């Protein structure tokens, strides 16, 4: 692979320098269409919401808007980005645990489509500040207690998770009733998300069944037939060759069929179903282009391949011990017989991009492309060591476009104030 969307990596380096975040715009749009077209059922209404924390810029919000997806935001910053992009407010979902009163007021003032309430305390704040000028749609985040097989930092539905309220906690049902009884709230149902990077399809099905059984309990207790269910995201992607790829063409329609069958068997209304893919839309469309600076061999014969980036633009390996694949541009057909640890320039022992990868013999000034960096790379980027954050470009049909410009040193200092 020496080109992306008919543009050579060498040309991209020449034009934009490195490090460089590259997104294949056509690949993002293709994945959006997979979700829109496959998450359908003749007897179940549904919508797809893009989880913007995976990657959000003004351009990305506009792309998502053009593909017909809804958008979830987990902070005032993400909400402001969406608004500046012209995203329809009725299609915006405000997420996040620990929302402040100011965040809730901002959502109400801009009349966002739906607010996901995280807990009973947050529900009490919202119950106090809503008014009859605008009846906001609300869902409550709950935890079904399903232990998805993924990294502990991205498990989000265990009973002691920081997110949501357990379906086993009596306070959860009380909170649902209080929200449903508020005349200024249109209470839709619950939101739940069992974790990220899930590759076992049965986890999604078990999740849906568990939540609908909880809906049955709510109906029997309060005679409330909940109108909608948000089953979150978590659809895993292929990072390295040994990963299995989740078959979305199978999982998405099957998930709706299970919702339909389960609701009927429980004698509850078939709810409107939302899902929230993020990583699965952008991860495999993203690449990070680096230049090899130095090769170093230790006394124990460990070989380091030092690139011009660092953990500030590639945090997931240090944070999650995530694994990645990479290639040296122009050397893909050469024998891969040298084991390198790809490391960055940050003053940190944990600044590892890829641990022990087989590559061809590398030289300074080679171009290294790390695959599947479209999710949680730019969005997690930092200024650690006062390193600047790389620019972001979209490529499509032989054209490239800057969607986040390269930071300058002046940008880096733009918020600093001198002592004297």
Is residue 67 a known part of a binding site? Answer: no
| Average confidence (pLDDT) over 282-307 | 98
> Confidence band (pLDDT; 50, 70, 90) for 149?
low
Of 213, 108, 122, which Cα lies nearest the Cα of 163? Answer: 122
- Work out the pLDDT band at 159, boundaries 50, 70, 90: confident
For range 342-361, the mean pLDDT: 97
**Would the annotation count 316 as a binding residue?**
yes
Report the pLDDT value the prediction gives residue 98, as an integer from 0 to 100: 93
CA nearest neighbour of 95 among 142, 64, 51? 51
Domain with CATH 2.40.37.10 in the chain: 3-8+284-412
Give the C-alpha separation, 358 to 366, whole Å: 15
Q: Is 29 annotated as a binding residue?
A: no
Asked if residue 155 has pLDDT above 80, the reply is no
Segment 16-26 shows an average pLDDT of 99
The mean per-residue pLDDT over the stretch 380-408 comes to 98
Known catalytic membership, residue 32: no
Report the distance separating Cα 26 and Cα 34, nearest Å: 12
Instruction: Match 């893909």 to its residue by tokens.
Output: 332
- Give residue 146's pLDDT: 84
Residues of the chain with CATH 3.20.20.10: 39-277
Confidence (pLDDT) at 151: 42
Query: How much is the pLDDT for 186?
Result: 98
pLDDT surpasses 80 at 359: yes
Which of the following is catalytic: 299, 347, 419, 420?
347
Q: Is the pLDDT of residue 380 over 70?
A: yes
Average pLDDT over every residue of 335-357? 97
Instruction: Give the CATH number of domain 39-277; options: 3.20.20.10, 1.20.1250.20, 3.40.1190.20, 3.40.50.1820.
Output: 3.20.20.10
Helix or strand run (H / E) with residue 259: helix 248-266
- Paired tokens of 315: 């945090």
Indicate whether this model's pTM tops 0.85.
Answer: yes
Top-confidence residue, 146 or 395: 395
Written as one string, the DSSP assignment of 192-247 is ---BSSB--HHHHHHHHHHHHHHHHHHHHHH-----EEE----B----STTSPPP-
**Largest distance between two CA atoms of the chain:** 72
Residue 154 pLDDT:
42
Is a pLDDT exceeding 60 seen at residue 382?
Answer: yes
Q: Please, are residues 13 and 291 in contact by the beta-carbon 8 Å criterion?
A: yes
Residue 80, marked binder = no
Q: Is 376 annotated as a binding residue?
A: yes
State the architecture of 3-8+284-412 in CATH terms: Beta Barrel (2.40)
Confirm or deny that 350 is annotated as ligand binding: no
**What pLDDT was estimated at residue 153?**
43
Q: What is the pLDDT of residues 165-212, one digit of tens each?
A: 999 999 999 999 999 999 999 999 999 999 889 999 999 999 999 999
Give one DSSP letter per residue of 77-102, joined into a string.
Answer: HHHHHHHHTT--GGGEEE--SS--HH
Query: Given pLDDT bands bounded at 50, 70 and 90, which one contains residue 157?
Result: low
Percent of the chain whose predicted confidence (pLDDT) is above 70: 98
Distance CA 83, CA 58 (A): 9
Mean pLDDT of the residues in the chain: 96
pLDDT tens profile 212-241: 999 999 999 999 999 999 999 999 999 999
């Amino acid at each position: 692979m020496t080109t992306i969307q008919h543009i050579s990596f060498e040309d991209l380096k020449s034009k934009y320098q490195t490090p460089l975040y590259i997104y294949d715009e056509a690949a993002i749009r293709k994945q959006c269409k997979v979700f829109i077209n496959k998450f359908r059922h003749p007897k179940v209404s549904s919508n797809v919401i893009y989880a913007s924390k995976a990657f959000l810029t003004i351009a990305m919000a506009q792309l998502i808007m053009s593909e017909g997806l809804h958008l979830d935001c987990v902070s005032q910053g993400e909400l402001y980005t969406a608004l500046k992009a012209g995203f329809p407010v009725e299609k915006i979902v405000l997420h996040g645990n620990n929302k402040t009163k100011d965040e809730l007021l901002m959502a109400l003032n801009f009349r966002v489509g739906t607010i996901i309430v995280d807990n009973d305390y947050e529900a009490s704040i919202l119950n106090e500040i809503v008014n009859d000028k605008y009846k906001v749609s609300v869902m409550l985040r709950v935890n079904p207690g399903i232990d998805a097989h993924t990294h502990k930092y991205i498990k989000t539905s265990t009973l002691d998770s920081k997110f949501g309220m357990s379906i086993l906690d009596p306070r959860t049902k009380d909170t649902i009733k209080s929200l449903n009884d508020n005349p200024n709230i249109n209470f839709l149902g619950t939101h739940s998300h069992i974790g990220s990077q899930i590759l076992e399809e049965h986890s999604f099905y078990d999740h849906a069944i568990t939540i609908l059984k909880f809906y049955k309990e709510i109906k029997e207790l309060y005679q409330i037939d909940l109108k909608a269910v948000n089953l979150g995201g978590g659809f895993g992607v292929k990072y390295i060759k040994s990963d299995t790829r989740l078959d979305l063409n199978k999982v998405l329609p099957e998930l709706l069929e299970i919702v339909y069958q389960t609701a009927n068997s429980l004698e509850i209304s078939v709810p409107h179903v939302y899902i929230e893919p993020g990583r699965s839309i952008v991860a495999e469309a993203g690449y990070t282009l680096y230049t090899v600076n130095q090769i170093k061999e230790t006394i124990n014969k460990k070989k380091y391949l030092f690139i011009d980036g660092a953990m500030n633009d590639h945090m997931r390996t240090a944070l999650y011990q995530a694994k990645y694949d990479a290639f040296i541009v122009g050397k893909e057909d050469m024998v891969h017989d040298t084991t390198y640890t790809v490391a960055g320039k940050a003053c940190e022992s944990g600044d590892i991009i890829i641990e022990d990868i087989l590559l061809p013999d590398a030289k300074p000034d080679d171009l290294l492309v790390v695959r599947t960096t479209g999710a949680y790379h730019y969005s997690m980027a930092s200024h650690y060591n006062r390193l600047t954050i790389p620019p972001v470009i979209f490529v499509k049909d032989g054209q490239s476009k800057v969607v986040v410009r390269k930071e300058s040193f002046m940008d880096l200092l733009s918020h600093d104030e001198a002592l004297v």
